[in-house]
Structure 1
Amino acid sequence: MPNCEVYVVGSYGVAFWIVGEVPAPGETLLGSGFAFGNGGKGSNQAIGAARLGARCKLLAGVGTDKFGSEALVS
């Protein structure tokens, strides 16, 4: 896929979490901090294609808040 260009039109989102691991079904975990990261179906598809060697462009709407600004530089 190195000579491939991929254009993704999709969503970008921010994921927030406060636990260090994903709980098992029915399990309760205590939070120990706060973190956030990039996400969204379109964003994840573009990242996956880029990891396979494609040159990617993502067209997605972002807000004018801190997280939108972070999205534009990541």
Structure 2
Amino acid sequence: MAPELFGRLAAEVPALIGVKVPGGDDSWYARMAAAVGGRLAVFVAGHTLATGRARGAAGAYSNIACLRPEGAVR
């Protein structure tokens, strides 16, 4: 989804407080920041957390645990 659609969703669904997305390049993060204006927490895949946080992501979700949940439990 385009960042602008996330902005529209944030405006129309006040109960929506965060989204899990794959992230993107610098342009994508700039567009997302402009579109959501701090109304949504943006979570990116765990392996992109360092660069995502530097670009404005609020945190990460574990895409690795989704691939192999029993490994995450161990």
User: Which TM-score applies when normalising by structure 1?
Assistant: 0.33
* Structure number, greater radius of gyration: 1
Say which structure is richer in strand.
1
The higher relative CO (CA closer than 8 Å, separation ≥ 6) is in 1
